[in-house]
Structure 1
Amino acid sequence: MPGLNVLTLLLPSWPQAVGHESTPTLLRWLARGDRLAAAQPGRDVVLRECFEFTGTSLPTAALTRSLDASDAPNVLWLRADPVYVMADAVTLRLVACGNLDLSAAEIDGFAQALKPLFGDAGFPLEATRTDRWYLHCAREAKLPTFSTPAAALGDDLALHLPEGENAQRWRRLLNEVQIVLTQHPLNAQRTRRGLPPVNSLWIWGAGTLPEWVRGDFTQVFSNDEITHALAKLAKIPVSSSLSDALKPIPSPTAGETAQGDKGTSLLVDLADQHDIAALERDWFTPLDTALRERKIDVLHLRFESGERCTIKPAHRWRFWRRVKPLA
């Protein structure tokens, strides 16, 4: 990994990533590195640390729209993803969101039934993908606050209904959506084939595309669609092949050096990697070797739960800092 100056790792939440037996390298880094003040928890906070962009919130719908079509700018977008909600003895719960193995005919059939509802409400629906659908909103539309599917998955839906301005209007609209979808003959066919019904939509991710996005990374590696969109808008090369981040990085040419090479800065998004033993084996161990060989000057760890730590090669000599399990 020659020529690498700075590596930033995005990691899962602290309780998921830190274990006494399964992550000895990570525990040693945390004991001997420089612990920073914790940030607020949340994926949006982590991405705000990595990318600078206009706006006060993460406009998920507009960002994914920029990957799916060329009409993302200057429109207020909402995601309206197909979901399966299940009733239990107490309430309704979100069981699955996004890719429900829909065929093109099913997407078209569900969309044709729903378009009049959203069209009459002033929010035209577009459904072309299996995993994410969109609502086109006027820029001046007053929208309530919507929960993310990640926050609601498996939880009582009553705790994740739209809140704030015009919330009642959207709650009524969602009730009508559920009635239409529950009665749709395509769902009866799906149930007979052993597939989950599409019996609701999850509305979320409101926002407009940022006017600009900036980042200081040379390259980004991530499986996350939002990270991809931010990197592309910042004109940073982005790859879904995480393992490529461990490949040797070419040293700068003489011409580049003469012009003042700024080195290499990689962002590697491992936040969706929940096999902790695999993280230790495939990432932490080889990166620890790279640190020891001074192929990495600075390693930044960013946990989705807010914890932050910076590790440098010389930190390995801090023997007086005892390695111990962290709560």
Structure 2
Amino acid sequence: MASATLLLPTRTRLVGQALPVVVAKALGRADRGRGEEGERAQLRRQFQLIPDHWPVAALTRQLDAGDAASSAWLRADPARVAPDMTGARMLAHGDALALTDEDVARLLPALRPLFGDAGFPLDAPHPSRWYLRVPKDAPLPAFASVDDVLGDDLFAHLPEGDAGRRWRALLTEAQVTLHNHPWNAQRVAEGKPPVNSLWFWGGGVLPDTVRTSFRQIKGNEVLLRALASAAGVPTEYAGNDEVDALIDLRQLRNLDLLCRDALQPLLAALRKRELDSLTLDFEDGAIFVLRRDQRWRFWRRPMPRLDTLRPDEVPA
């Protein structure tokens, strides 16, 4: 029989409403666990990389262009920053800027000499994902993930020390170039956000191997698709419901929708023996494993809300 694992957002984004009775009973009787918090940790529970590192840029580059094996890669994603009293704050990046091929054609030629002279050719196989090609033996400092920087002070996340000095200088020069570029003035005149900064992150080389226990993965998020592709697992519906499947629902914010369209049908499949097990993996580290034989745990209280108990508190 098949099993299903749901990737879910942090529970605090779904609480505020009571769980349906059937869901509350199932979660109250489920096996519970605790994993590390965060998107990276959540995905690493589902995929094993050899060597054990997390080169987001190389993985998404392989998905976007198919040539990642030749070099190390660093994302140089377009961003919008705005000054505040303490420095500058990142307000948007990537897809939120709604960039087009024309934006890339206008902005990249102004930046390429800067990075080319530094030995890091810049290109953009996707309007929202820009890449620097880096020699495999080039030392890279630690870069903060772009999502960790969003909404925060940019300067608090800059790469530190001597290794980061070169990258801090490149970022400053790129910001000056973009700030002065006439195409940004046109974007602002059209009511679009300017592209006035880049953010370097996700550096590394493509892993030798990516493994997962799933035979089908459903989701549109870019990194998930890149990992699935590297593991040789389709992300389109393959017409076979009798395989272990990973389903990405991290974009959901509505608890009623989650329960009605996902949890209740899957719990019905468990009862009918169409599904062997169901795992709920939340981004905050909460993990619930549900099986049909748990229905005999009648002494366990239902969970009326997702935040009723910590996931490591197993009721007697």
Q: Same fold (TM over 0.5)?
A: yes
What letter is aligned with 1:73?
Answer: A
Identity of matched residues, %: 44
Q: CA deviation at 1:165?
A: 5.4
Out of 216, 221, 224, the position equivalent to 1:219 is: 216
Q: Structure 1 residue 110 and structure 2 residue 107: aligned?
A: yes
**How far apart in 2 are the matches of 1:80 and 1:271?**
25
Describe how 1:283-322 pairs up with structure 2 within 5 A.
Answer: 283-322=262-301
Distance 1:152 1:27, change over 3 A: farther
The answer (yes or no) to whether the contact 2:51–2:209 under 8 Å persists in 1 is: no
Q: Structure 1 residue 69 and structure 2 residue 48: aligned?
A: no
**How far apart in 2 are the matches of 1:164 and 1:6?**
47
Gaps of 5+ in 2: 309-316
Gaps of 5+ in 1: 250-262
Distance 1:290 1:208, change over 3 A: same
- SS of the equivalent of 2:68 reads coil
**How far apart in 2 are the matches of 1:107 and 1:63?**
21
> 4+ runs of 1 displaced by more than 6 Å?
none
- SS of the equivalent of 1:223 reads coil
Out of 40, 55, 66, the position equivalent to 1:44 is: 40
The answer (yes or no) to whether the contact 1:6–1:265 under 8 Å persists in 2 is: yes
The answer (yes or no) to whether the contact 1:25–1:280 under 8 Å persists in 2 is: no
The answer (yes or no) to whether the contact 1:84–1:197 under 8 Å persists in 2 is: yes
- SS of the equivalent of 1:170 reads helix
Q: Structure 1 residue 159 and structure 2 residue 156: aligned?
A: yes
- Which moved further from structure 2: 158-167 or 264-273? 158-167
Deviations 1:137-189 (A, max 9, x none): 00111111111121111112122212355112111111111111001111111
Deviations 1:193-236 (A, max 9, x none): 11100000111111111111122212111111111122122211
Out of 234, 251, 269, the position equivalent to 2:248 is: 269
Q: CA deviation at 1:265?
A: 0.7
Q: State the TM-score, normalizing by the size of structure 2.
A: 0.90
Q: What's the counterpart of residue 86 of structure 1?
A: 82
Q: CA deviation at 1:52?
A: 1.7
Q: What's the counterpart of residue 314 of structure 2?
A: none
What letter is aligned with 1:285?
Answer: Q
Distance 1:22 1:159, change over 3 A: farther
Q: CA deviation at 1:289?
A: 1.3
What letter is aligned with 1:70?
Answer: G
- SS of the equivalent of 1:279 reads helix
- SS of the equivalent of 2:159 reads coil
Deviations 1:230-258 (A, max 9, x none): 2122211212xxxx59x873xxxxxxxxx
Q: CA deviation at 1:98?
A: 0.7
- SS of the equivalent of 1:127 reads strand
Q: Structure 1 residue 33 and structure 2 residue 12: aligned?
A: no
What letter is aligned with 2:149?
Answer: A
Distance 1:72 1:26, change over 3 A: farther
**How far apart in 1 are the matches of 2:150 and 2:22?**
32
Q: What's the counterpart of residue 150 of structure 1?
A: 147
- SS of the equivalent of 1:111 reads helix
**How far apart in 1 are the matches of 2:157 and 2:20?**
35
The answer (yes or no) to whether the contact 1:108–1:127 under 8 Å persists in 2 is: no
The answer (yes or no) to whether the contact 1:152–1:160 under 8 Å persists in 2 is: yes
Q: Structure 1 residue 95 and structure 2 residue 91: aligned?
A: yes
- SS of the equivalent of 1:264 reads coil
Question: How many residues were matched structurally?
Answer: 305
